Structure 1
Amino acid sequence: MLVRRILPASLYGLLVGGLVTAAVAEPVTDEQPIAVELDAIEVTAGVPVPGDPMLQAADVDVLTGEELRRRARLTLGETLESLPGVSSITAGNTVGKPVIRGLSGNQIQVLSNGVGVDYQQYGERHPPNIDPFLAERIEVVRGASSLLYGSGALGGAIDVQAPAFVFSPEGESAASGDTLFTYHSNNGQWDTGAKARASSDWLSIDAGLIRRSAGNLNTPNAKTAAESGDSSDPKFTGELPFTDFDQLNGQFGVGVQTDIGEFGVRYTQWNNENNYLLPNGKGIGLWLRNDQLQFTGAMPLASGWELKPTLSWQNNLRRANSAGTPLSAGYDGTVHLEFDRYVARFEAVHDALGPFDGGTLGVEYSNKIQYSRGTTVLASGGEVGNLALFAFESKDIGALTLQAGLRHDWHSVTGDAGKTSATVNFTGRDNHDYAEFTGSLGAVYRLTDQLAIASNLGRGFRAPSLFELYADGVHGGVSAIQEGNPDLDPETSLNIDLGLRWRSPSVQGSATLYRNAISDYIYLEDTGESRDDLPVFAYKQDDALLTGLELEARWQVTDRIELGATLDVVRGTNDRTDEDLPLLPADTLKVEATYRFPERGMVREPYFTLGVRHAAAKDAAPGEPFAQFDDMPFGTASTDAYTLVDLDLGFAFRAFGSRLARVDLAVRNLFDIEYRDFLDTYKGYALSPGRDISLSVSVPFGG
């Protein structure tokens, strides 16, 4: 009897150009040997023709199955930071905002089931409104990806996909589910969730719900700056007040199979309440909510064509107090941003067409209407519209695969004083129109069955946001005043990748070099001025260049021992000032070793993983957010090198029916090391999290 499962999480589980799964023969007796068979996972989004990621010109990774279950964390960024080229901006152990190759926020695109989502991502501490527990797979495209995803995908795209609608054979029905219980020792966090699905030959239903609740974060009990007299020491250590949060997230989907195709409707809601600790020791409370309703279809047509319509509605609400007013004081009306966003996307996917072997033709329209009802103009009210046409094709010529595409976007951003309660720096409606061509050209050449070389040239663009154009007020979450710039032009990028990819039954790896030249790069700069004892940051733009290296290797030494490592290096420079770009991750090396124990009695698939993470020292770029803490009587914006040790161990056991229940124990920062991660936005006045021990139990039910 064969049981399908992902190999344990060594090498942080994933390959550039080829995530692998394993089919493991479950032993009938303890003496039977373990057989390992490797298969490639298919990419379904971000490419002209779905298929093996090793043979895609774009640099793509997929996280799914058991690997996603084990890697899933509270935030999207933390879930993905095991992948090459992906980091996470945090606030202690919350936020988890993804960074791809040194770009984040508005400069990468986060999608839900292929449709871009907006989460007011201009703020460093604004997390994607997505819960990884509810996802079935996550696909990450590194490099300029505007061809399929439009404005915002300068550095890459992340598509978080809900469970696919699955239908049972005719005359049969099925139902199954999973429960999750997790406890984290560091902040007393409880995660309690459940997912279920049922199907017949024409109907598919799935649902998921998870509650996450946590107290205050704890850091190592080190000396504070006041105690040591060293101005680089933090202002707060030990338990950090005002770092608690509470979330309740869920989704529900219904799919039907008809004579003309498959259709589905899915509703998702994400709710979050949290405090942030401010440098003065006070808290600021936030209430966040995101609702999304999607209609999808897949209709096979004649001659190898398939029409895939998607209609989406998103409502996003952000409410925040003034600095020093925590959740317990109630909402004080300072920030109240709400928008409705409507998207209509139609894709025609085809097999062979003229000289091409397969590809996608599409049109997409989106419209966002935003209201700013708070007493401060963190972002103005207004509208954002976009219309795009795109085509993406693929051609095989022997061992060579060519992929190319073009896209044109008509984009408009309109500030509307009538949709803004506070006084804004314009009157009436202020309109900005942009028109941009983007595209990509890539190739993969299979040197052997195990070795391929890939290169991709892509052009991306990003239009300025309402916040970047019109911001004019105190941003309490970062303790600064931020000002927009109505004269901003769109960012454009020219990105080129060159990668070598290797995959054999026992050894997989990749080496990727990239260069991303961005014209009119938009960033916040410290003006050197202050108002009300807060620094003033204003938006500017200059040309910029990012270059980097990603290395990954994985070795199945024996049936029981697996080794892996990843190395990420990124450099970013402002062409005008020759200074570093803000919020670039430190150079990082990660090494893991996994041992799979023999199975005994009821214990199945026992494993033990030892991981080491090393981050190099990094200086803060002049004028970047939080750079002011390099000149404060406490804390720092620049960080020292650090090395952390993590442990993972677990096993499965037969619970109900044929499916396995799982128990996982994870220890992060095993030795409770004092450190500050460069992308931890608390680094200016507090340490990064201390030791955390988490126990997770996942119990299936049904067939």
Structure 2
Amino acid sequence: MSSASHSASHVVSGALFLTLTAVGGEATAAQQTATAASDESLSTITVTGTPLPGSPLSQAAEVDVVDSDSMEAEGATNLGEALAPLAGVDSISTGNSVGKPVIRGLSGDRIRMLSDGMGVDSQQYGVRHMPTTDTFLLDRVEVVRGASSVLYGSSALGGAVNLLPREIAWDSPVEGEALTRYSSNNGQWDTGVKASGGDGRFGYAFGIIRRDAGNIETPDETTYFPPPPAPQHRDAPAYSGELDYTDFNQVNGDLAFGYRDDEGGEWTARYARFNDQHNFLLPPPAGQLPPPAGEEGVGQYIDNHQLELAGDKRVDGIRWQPKLMWQNNRRRSNAAGRPRSAGFDDAIDVEFDQYTARLTGQHGPVGFTDGGTLGVEYSDKDQVSRGGTQLSPGGTVSNFATFAFEERRFGDLLLQTGLRYDHHRIEGEASKTANPSTSVSNAESHSYDVVTGSLGGIYSFTDNLSLAGNVGRGFRAPGLFELYVAGQHGGVAAFQQGNPDLDPETSLNTDLSLRWASDTLRASATLYRNAIDDYIYPRDTGTSRGGLPVFAYDQTDALLTGVELSVEKDINRWLTLSAAAETVDGERRDNGDELPLLPADNLRLGARVTPDDRGGWLRDPYASLTLRHYASKDAAPGEPFSQFDGAPFGSASTDGYTLVDIGAGISPRFGNQVVHFDLAVHNLLDETYRGFLDTYKGYALSPGRDIRLTARLPFGG
């Protein structure tokens, strides 16, 4: 990558800014013509969710791409934080260690997480369970909005997030980058190196990074302990200033080897490991001490292994892509009040092995279609629960699917349609659960046969203006946790209870988007509606157990509607202004109650300045300013931590606030060596606030000012 590209913005919309190239295949004549008519300076990049290649204005799917350069310059420490700048995308955070993506108001098991197109599981039923992939090790992240079950099956009700690892540099002996970063707020040091290379036939790629973080800092404010003298301070947080037990340590890495055969086929083997140890600050009195005694924490340990074998081979005009993946994920958690420094106490220990096989074939014109993708996929998951507390039990989950995704152009109108069949089977097993509840002991196998489909179209009024619409059917089968959970869950400070009679969720998602893309202006306005039948949610039973509220899983019908707006304007060659806004409304259709974990309405304004390159230390300079405003929001009934709206301290509902972020960077050259220096300051004014999707909001403030300094040393190439 050239140093000039370093100073450019790399958060881009696939629907607006990039020539979208699906994996494999050749563009039809109509698509080649449309692509030639578009801006020739636009990059070409592989994206998910599209049956064939096309120009920026010839894709019905809403696809966003964030590349590694952008994530590193911003100092992103988790996936949710890296994607949050995108319109319609938010992050559920817990300190700096956890960032779970939210797409159009949906998160967790309703967002399909993918690794190179293969579904992965991070036991994401927990609101604080982070994705087990490090952003430093990725080449880019692709975000597909709207129901994506046709390609990815269960859990893709709101969209899909595809994590693309670093590609092999087949024709270069070595090219890579070393990184070091310091974050002032929690004294975090990140140190990593990644590289790839090859001789044309054999290739490799590897990366490793260590993240070592202390406790986060919040503004010093009045706290409830001891109780403040005035009743208007009743919602004072339990803790402010330095928040004990918010530290974490990670060592993550990957290693890949590749081979190119004489017929142009590529074959790769990749191993990745994510290893994390962290503390979570507990709400009083969730631990072992009385509330005024001070902070208590709980230690957790996450270990994730992935091994992928993949091929890419064209045979008789069809591009075949076979993939096999093994994933082992183990989550261990101590009892409340025991931090990670005390060692594992065998409270919760859940581990699974998941095997997935996927074969896709991308073809050109056949019959009525201009081309598309056919596929078949099978996955099998075997889970055991060894800890003293059942929480999520042991059991098995399997899924078989076959699908087709095709497209056809009629002049200025492009239609894309897909159809998929899934057979999903799930069973809780007492023999794989150390302390099974009655529901697990009496569990029966559940099988679901589901057909989903999608129809999208895009009409190009001009080379710059287009109108896109999509209708998609999605589904999500209930998980082992929702069916059979039975125990105290420190992640939500409640006792949770499963429901073995849950039906699968099904959704009908529609969206309409008006898009403009030219040399100096990129803009998009999107309306969407997502109706979900049999929406699964935790219901507050009004009872308590062990001093904690009891949340039991139940079902109802739900409706989400929203608007996303984004615009980016090049005022001149050195100044770019941008804006993005989002509002989403979600409610139960039986009583109108709001759905949990919806983001607050928000508006983002930005300016980026790229002055002339003056050489020396002022080589490739840039500076940025971002204002983020979030409206006030009330906690929904049954929302995680909603109980703090009734506690003598804190609040689960949040007031509106505005944050100011700045950034700057230069890329000086020392001899033949370029070094990238990036500065990112989050919450510049040290604003006192509670983020609505910050899971500490009920009893602590959100992080204060954070100065992140990053140095990157590219080498080779």
Shorter-chain TM-score tier: over 0.9
Code of the residue aligned with 2:345 in structure 1: it is D
User: Residue 353 of structure 1: SS of its match in structure 2?
Assistant: coil
Partner of 1:19: 17
- Counterpart of 2:554, as a letter, is K
Query: Quick check: 1:663–1:696 contact (8 Å CA) kept in 2?
Result: yes
Matches within 5 A, 1:158-557: 158-168=161-171, 173-225=172-224, 226-227=227-228, 229=230, 230-260=233-263, 261-280=265-284, 281-302=295-316, 304-426=317-439, 427=441, 430-557=444-571
Q: 1:72, CA displacement in angstroms? A: 5.7
Conserved 8 A contact 2:79-2:101: yes
8 Å CA contact retained: 2:167, 2:205: no
Matched, 1:110 2:113: yes
Count of matched residue positions in the alignment of Structure 1 and Structure 2: 681
Supply the AA of the counterpart residue of 1:378: L
Alignment partner, residue 119 of structure 1: 122
Separation (CA, whole Å) in 1 of partners of 2:11 and 2:296: 40
Q: CA deviation at 1:203?
A: 1.1
Give the conservation status (yes or no) of the 8 Å contact 1:452–1:502.
yes
**Structure 1 position 699 matched with structure 2 position 713:** yes
Is this contact kept in 2: 1:612–1:644, CA < 8 A?
yes
SS in 2 for 1:430: coil
Contact 1:72 1:132 in 2 (8 A): no
CA apart distance, 1:54: 3.5
**1:478-505 Cα distance to aligned partner (Å, 9 max, x none):** 2110000000000000000100010010
CA distance in 2, matches of 1:444, 1:702: 42
Give the aligned partner of residue 606 of structure 2: 592
TM-score (norm 1): 0.95
Amino acid aligned to 1:580? E
Structure 2 partner of 1:30: none
1:55-204 pair list within 5 angstroms: 55-64=58-67, 66-71=69-74, 73-168=76-171, 173-204=172-203
SS at match of 2:392: coil
Q: Deviations over 1:464-491 (max 9, x none)?
A: 0000000000112221100000000000
Q: Structure 2: how far apart are the matches of 1:495 and 1:44?
A: 21
Provide the residue aligned with 2:666 in structure 1. 651
Is 1:682 aligned to 2:696, yes or no?
yes
Q: 2:341 is paired with a residue of what secondary structure?
A: helix
2:645 pairs, out of 613, 630, 637, with 630
Q: Which amino acid aligns with 2:691?
A: D
Q: Report the secondary structure of 2:438's partner residue.
A: coil
Q: Is the Cα–Cα contact under 8 Å of residues 3 and 667 in structure 2 kept in the other structure?
A: no
Deviation at 1:16, TM superposition (A): 6.3
SS at the partner of 2:645?
helix
Distance 1:340 1:123, change over 3 A: same
**Partner of 1:73: helix, strand, or coil?**
coil
User: Hey, what's the Cα distance between the residues in 1 that align with 2:597 and 2:71?
Assistant: 27
Q: Which residue of 1 aligns with 2:5?
A: 5
SS of the equivalent of 2:715 reads strand
Worse-superposed segment, 144-153 or 228-237: 228-237
Residue pair 2:73, 2:710 contacting (<8 A) in 1 also: no
Range 222-231 or range 591-600, more displaced: 222-231
* Partner SS for 1:42: strand
Q: CA deviation at 1:423?
A: 2.6
Shift of the 573–622 alpha-carbon distance from structure 1 to 2, 3 Å rule, reads same
- Looking at structure 2, the residues matched to 410 and 142 of structure 1 have their Cα atoms a distance apart, in angstroms, of 24
Task: Report if the CA contact (8 A) 1:656-1:701 is conserved.
Answer: no
Matched with 1:642 is: 657
TM-score (norm 2): 0.93
Deviation, 1:233, is: 1.3
Q: How far apart in 1 are the matches of 2:194 and 2:218?
A: 33
Identical positions, percent: 51
Shift of 1:654: 2.2
Q: Provide the C-alpha distance between the structure 1 equivalents of 2:261 and 2:639, rounded to a whole number of angstroms.
A: 54
Q: Report if the CA contact (8 A) 2:73-2:680 is conserved.
A: no
Query: C-alpha distance in 1, partners of 2:182/2:160?
Result: 31
1: CA distance between counterparts of 2:384 and 2:583?
40
Distance 1:335 1:655, change over 3 A: farther
Distance 1:483 1:2 in 2: 54
Task: Return closer, same or farther for 1:262/1:4 CA change in 2, 3 Å cut-off.
Answer: farther
Q: Indicate conservation of the 8 Å contact 1:90/1:97, yes or no.
A: yes
Match for residue 628 of structure 2? 613
Mapped to 2, the partners of 1:622 and 1:482 lie a distance apart of 15
**Within 1, Cα distance between the matches of 2:527 and 2:3?**
37
- Give the Cα–Cα distance (whole angstroms) in 1 for the partners of residues 149 and 2 of structure 2: 41
Q: Which stretches in structure 1 are left out of the alignment for 5+ residues? A: 22-35
Superposition deviation, residue 604 in structure 1: 1.7
For residues 491 and 210 of structure 2, the distance between their equivalents in structure 1, rounded to whole angstroms, comes to: 24
Distance (Å, rounded) in 2 between the aligned partners of 1:632 and 1:68: 38
Question: CA separation in 2, counterparts of 1:306 and 1:337?
Answer: 39
2:138–2:165 CA contact under 8 A, matched in 1: yes
Question: What residue is the counterpart of 1:28 in the other structure?
Answer: none
User: For 1:228 and 1:686, how far apart are their aligned partners in 2?
Assistant: 19
Assess if the C-alpha contact under 8 Å between 2:674 and 2:714 holds in 1.
yes
What one-letter code is carried by the residue in structure 2 that aligns with 1:252? L
- Which has the higher mean CA deviation after the structures are superposed, 594-603 or 479-488? 594-603
Cα distance change, pair 175–505 in 1 and its aligned pair in 2 (3 A): same
User: 1:290-320 CA deviation, whole Å, 9 max, x = no partner?
Assistant: 0000000011111x21110000000000000
Structure 2 residue runs of 5 or longer lacking an equivalent are: 20-38, 285-294
1:44 to 35, 39, 47: 47
Q: How big is the shift at 1:396?
A: 1.4
Change in 2 beyond 3 A, CA 1:312/1:575:
same
CA 1:656 to 1:389, structure 2 compared with 1: closer, same or farther past 3 Å?
farther
- Whether contact under 8 Å (1:15, 1:510) holds in the other structure is no
- Contact map agreement 2:318 2:363 (CA 8 A) in 1: yes
Cα distance in 1, alignment partners of residues 159 and 62 from structure 2: 9
Structure 2 counterpart of 1:393, one-letter code: E
SS at match of 1:67: helix
Distance in 2, Cα, partners of 1:548 & 1:228: 42
Mark the CA change 1:639 to 1:621 in structure 2 (over 3 Å): closer, same or farther. Answer: same
| CA 1:4–1:695: 2 relative to 1, 3 Å | closer
Distance 2:303 2:244 in 1: 23
